[in-house]
Structure 1
Amino acid sequence: MKLKDFMAAMSAIESDRKLTKEVVVSALEEALSKAFRKQIEIPDALVRVDINEKSGEIHVYQQRTVVETVEDDELEIALADAKALNQEYVLGDLVDIEVDITKLGRAAVILAKNVMKQKIREAEKQVIYDEYCDKVEEMVVGTVETVEEKFALVNIGKTLALMPRTAQIPGERYYENQRLRVVITEVNKETKGAQVLVSRADAALVKRLFEKEVPEIYQGVIEIRAIARDAGERTKMAVYSHNENVDPIGACIGPRGSRVQVIIEELGGEKIDIFEWSEDVSELIKNALSPAEVLAVIPSEEKRGLLVVVADHQLSLAIGKKGKNARLAVKLTGNKIDIKSESDVEAMGIDWRVIAIRQQEEARAKLEERRALEQMEHFASVRNEMEQEESVLPEEIHTPIIEEYVADVIAQEENSDAAVAESKETAPLETTVVVDELEEAARIAKEKKKASGMSVKHEYVSKLEQLADASGKSEEKTVSRKKRTEKEDKEERRKPTFDPKKRDYEFKPIYSEEELAEIARQEEEERANDWINDDIDFDEYDEYYEE
């Protein structure tokens, strides 16, 4: 037997099937033991297989029990014969007798091969199951290996996943070596075929695509509360924001629809409706049936479920083409919905307006009660925190400001309880007063500043309000005075800092000898040309011009 080739084949199995060495060795040991039992045709025979991984040597031993009297020489050995092999053997010990595995028959070898194949296949299934059992409803990228009429095989890394016809998007065509985004829907190890099932028609795929494209969903700021999908046609998704400053619908759509457009292209042009989640079932159903306008959602008297009332011209829009809009709303909300037009409901004798108003009042009362309870819990927690701080702080820090703050919180709590009780008895439901937490915190902070001697800031008045209150006349004077003042300031800055008339110096130009000679020559020419002024007496002609 070529042990080197055999060990090389075992190493190839480990690397190709991505199995550990212990799994392959265990499978080989079980295969050899069953093959030897097949050879000697004794199923109950005790066999021990010794495999040396370093040297590659394989030894198979048949174990026999030491007894006084031998009844079956294939399973037992006499004490005398055992003593001949080793003096330390006693009754009940197992004696190892090596056998030659090269003399195994054809049937035994085939059995060993089949047993080893089965064990390796089971180990491989276990490895795949451990790899993908925690990835159900997770999105992976796979490559299409084979496309058949009823299914397609997708390579997702460590195994080939099966995508049935029902899990494919209608109208979408696949080809070999095509890369697809799929979501894992099922992982099992009991079936003989594919262990992993993937889908492109599941609603989880849309959810994972939004998590990939919208960072707010991945970070947990926005949550997808419910989703319903009709693959290839339309998807409805209800989102909720844990931060009041973040718009959940706008974040999912993205700037100019960039985020949702990527998902629509991935799904082959499938339409996606995004609306805001509401704890009120009636409000949620109204949002789910958009773009239809719902008048009211009331309990159904005949059937268990809800009756949705819409206008006569909105009935077909609410139901949708082939009932898709209503079907998706039922799937998303989890309630049975019966959509009726306004005229049909009135013909049935149901006053849906009165029922709707009563439901709104009950929902508003529950909301106010819940808010009041949350406020009382908040005030109680604040009081406990202040009491704990008083017990921890030293006596010199217990100033009157802290005592006044604690008393103010307690008094405010009592006043809020009395106000809530009084509003429930006397005031109508719409005028129920609930103290807002932010207003309470601002009032306490203002009182604390006043007690500590800090001045309260005056209210800010904008310039527009000042100009609106002032008269037009005073406004013109103020503006003109301001401009004149600025002009005077500029002129004042332009004035020199010295008086040029009271100077005790004289500016004298410096000329060269050539320039001085030129200046003297020009003066002589001027005097020579000025002879007419010297010879004529213009005073003689003054009387003539005066006449």
Structure 2
Amino acid sequence: MEGMAITRTDMLSVADTVAREKSIDREHVLEAMEQAIQKAGRSKYGHEHDIRATIDRRTGEISLARYIEVVDEIENEVTQMTLGEALSEKPDAKVGDFIVDELPPIEFGRIAAQTAKQVIVQKVREAERERQYEEFKDRVGEIVNGVVKRVEFGNVTLDLGRAEAVLRRDEIIPREHFKRGDRVRAYIYDVRREQRGPQIFLSRTHPQFMAKLFAQEVPEIYDGVIEIKKVARDPGSRAKIGVISQDSSIDPVGACVGMRGSRVQAVVTELQGEKIDIIPWSPEDATFTVNALAPAEVSKIVMDEESGKMEVVVPDDQLSLAIGRRGQNVRLASILTGWDIDIMTEEEESQKRQAEFNERSERFMEALDVDDVIARLLVTEGFTSVEEVGYVPVDELASIEGFDESVAEELRARARTFLETEAERLDTRRKELGVEDALAGLAGLTPAMLVALGEAEVKSIDDFADLAADELTDKEDGILKSFPIGEQEASDLIMDARVAAGWFSQEELDAMRAEAAAAAEAEAAEAAAEAAAAEGAEEA
């Protein structure tokens, strides 16, 4: 290529070949070539010059020119000139125009050719990466087939044909090993634009990988007649999927299992023998939980919606079956239902209820100074706290068998006296611990909570504002774990404390909350629109 000018036809044919081989737009290749010629031109005539190259898209004609801008005041003498100077060269010139000096076609020397090649290769690579990103960014949620290109430290790089993808070690099913040349099926869970090009992340442990495999094996799922509502997996070991049929004449479980288990077996084989429980989904949480814990039988369910906990009572001989090996069955059922499930036998439940009954009775006996008969009557009628007795309407207490209005009034008075005394005791303890009045004045914190905070060295409004919600509500070591306070409520309290501490104003907090609410609403509307569109497409 030394000392030779590239011919016109060469330029267009090279551009066409590269565009075809790399599956990118011919225009991108020609732009890269223009930049390469431009760079070579600047190397020859001086980098300070504004030299531009153009390739005629029809003829392949290369033109090289130096551009000088017409300005009022010169800042760069090499690339700018005044209007007076410009008028001598171009009579109709005005500020903002460019004076264009044509330059002779460049002859590429070895160094210039090499530089040009580097520029073209770089630009083509960038265009190729952009093409890959555009192609795969909308394919998140699809299953793809690839060939193993290399394995490094357990991470697998797959060749998808038109791009490379990464299957990280923690996204591979345990005890699964791949070697170069193996064909692998995986689920695209993320596509990111990164410095080194688009990164396509694959997974074989993702719950949706199983859902998509079933969609490939079960035509009813692909057609939308059967829907997979929930998936919970212990990759390579066991999984549970909740399915529902839109057509009452089709059994969703039977359709997923297939003739002699052929459909489910195809999925099990792909997932290295992962056992799959197919469960009929129900909109009623209690029913769905009973189904999810199969094959164990359930005799009773007690739900606490505030804490999201569910106590499931099973016959004594069903306990180990319900819990499963290493707690697997109940753990997967918890993930599937979204409830924190606590399994207990009928005997344990009976003992727990009796212990709760006795504890509440003793609490009433102590607080209200009554005998065990009255205390037990209150517990039997559903009273759980002294606060309830102190502030319930009189007629509700008087309606209990054996009580009259005077007994009800006396019980309410004793309850309120106890609560006032207890509040004074807690307030004194709070002050002893050094919990500041500003924190005590925060709406939503009870005297008992303030004592718990003080014992945890949270004493000022700034200390409280500095906390995260889970530091208050964590089941293991949350400061307020023994109080009925949810994560959202804790988060609201902390934000109010930040306003009180002067971190931001109430108006800013209201704006943040309004923005968050609007974003949640928009997300819900978008999800509803997508669901409606998908339904419309299925009907079509």
Aligned positions of 1:379-458 closer than 5 A: none
Q: CA deviation at 1:6?
A: 5.0
Tell me the residue number matched to 1:144.
148
Q: CA deviation at 1:84?
A: 6.3
Residues of 2 paired with 1:277 and 1:38: CA distance?
A: 70
Residues of 1 paired with 2:38 and 2:354: CA distance?
A: 81
Tell me the residue number matched to 2:170.
166
Tell me which of 334, 343, 357 is aligned to 2:338: 334
1:48 aligns with 2:43: no
- What code does the residue aligned with 1:313 have? D
Tell me the residue number matched to 1:122.
126
Seen in structure 2, the aligned counterparts of structure 1 residues 125 and 67 have a Cα distance that, compared at 3 Å, is closer
Count, aligned residues: 354
1:248 aligns with 2:252: yes
Seen in structure 2, the aligned counterparts of structure 1 residues 71 and 298 have a Cα distance that, compared at 3 Å, is closer
1:61 aligns with 2:70: no
Q: CA deviation at 1:40?
A: 6.2
Tell me the residue number matched to 2:538.
none
Seen in structure 2, the aligned counterparts of structure 1 residues 323 and 37 have a Cα distance that, compared at 3 Å, is farther
Q: CA deviation at 1:305?
A: 1.4
Seen in structure 2, the aligned counterparts of structure 1 residues 49 and 287 have a Cα distance that, compared at 3 Å, is same
Q: CA deviation at 1:151?
A: 1.0
Tell me the residue number matched to 2:353.
349
Please report the TM-score for the alignment, with normalisation by the length of structure 1.
0.58
Tell me which of 12, 24, 31 is aligned to 1:19: 24
Tell me the residue number matched to 1:218.
222
Aligned positions of 1:271-420 closer than 5 A: 271-300=275-304, 304-349=308-353
Q: CA deviation at 1:63?
A: 1.0
Tell me which of 22, 33, 53 is aligned to 1:28: 33
Residues of 1 paired with 2:331 and 2:152: CA distance?
A: 31
Does the 8 Å contact 1:39/1:104 carry over to 2? Answer: no
Does the 8 Å contact 2:228/2:244 carry over to 1? Answer: yes
Tell me the residue number matched to 1:231.
235
Residues of 2 paired with 1:191 and 1:350: CA distance?
A: 63
Tell me the residue number matched to 1:374.
none
Residues of 2 paired with 1:71 and 1:143: CA distance?
A: 57
Secondary structure, in 3 states, of the residue corresponding to 1:59? strand
Tell me the residue number matched to 1:513.
none
Does the 8 Å contact 1:161/1:194 carry over to 2? Answer: no
Seen in structure 2, the aligned counterparts of structure 1 residues 350 and 78 have a Cα distance that, compared at 3 Å, is same
Residues of 2 paired with 1:71 and 1:169: CA distance?
A: 64
- What code does the residue aligned with 2:27 have? E
Seen in structure 2, the aligned counterparts of structure 1 residues 67 and 200 have a Cα distance that, compared at 3 Å, is closer
- What code does the residue aligned with 2:348 have? D
Does the 8 Å contact 2:189/2:201 carry over to 1? Answer: yes
Encode CA deviations 1:440-464: one digit per residue, 9 max, x unaligned.
xxxxxxxxxxxxxxxxxxxxxxxxx
Encode CA deviations 1:362-393: one digit per residue, 9 max, x unaligned.
xxxxxxxxxxxxxxxxxxxxxxxxxxxxxxxx
Q: CA deviation at 1:157?
A: 2.4
Tell me which of 166, 180, 197 is aligned to 2:201: 197
Deviates more, 1:82-91 or 1:234-243: 82-91
Residues of 2 paired with 1:207 and 1:216: CA distance?
A: 13
Q: Which has the larger radius of gyration?
A: 1
Secondary structure, in 3 states, of the residue corresponding to 1:349? helix
1:133 aligns with 2:137: yes
Seen in structure 2, the aligned counterparts of structure 1 residues 107 and 299 have a Cα distance that, compared at 3 Å, is farther
Seen in structure 2, the aligned counterparts of structure 1 residues 342 and 114 have a Cα distance that, compared at 3 Å, is farther
Does the 8 Å contact 2:132/2:198 carry over to 1? Answer: no
Tell me which of 76, 80, 96 is aligned to 2:80: 76
Encode CA deviations 1:108-134: one digit per residue, 9 max, x unaligned.
877755554443333222211221112
Tell me the residue number matched to 1:265.
269
Residues of 2 paired with 1:152 and 1:124: CA distance?
A: 22
Q: CA deviation at 1:332?
A: 1.1
For structure 1, which runs of at least 5 residues remain unmatched after alignment?
Answer: 353-357, 359-547
Does the 8 Å contact 1:223/1:239 carry over to 2? Answer: yes
- What code does the residue aligned with 1:308 have? V
Secondary structure, in 3 states, of the residue corresponding to 1:188? strand
1:188 aligns with 2:198: no
Residues of 1 paired with 2:143 and 2:73: CA distance?
A: 68
Residues of 2 paired with 1:333 and 1:169: CA distance?
A: 23
Residues of 2 paired with 1:306 and 1:332: CA distance?
A: 13
Please report the TM-score for the alignment, with normalisation by the length of structure 2.
0.58
Seen in structure 2, the aligned counterparts of structure 1 residues 92 and 324 have a Cα distance that, compared at 3 Å, is closer
Secondary structure, in 3 states, of the residue corresponding to 1:348? helix
For structure 2, which runs of at least 5 residues remain unmatched after alignment?
Answer: 357-381, 383-540
CA RMSD of aligned residues (A): 3.4
Secondary structure, in 3 states, of the residue corresponding to 2:27? helix
Residues of 2 paired with 1:131 and 1:17: CA distance?
A: 14
Residues of 2 paired with 1:189 and 1:197: CA distance?
A: 11
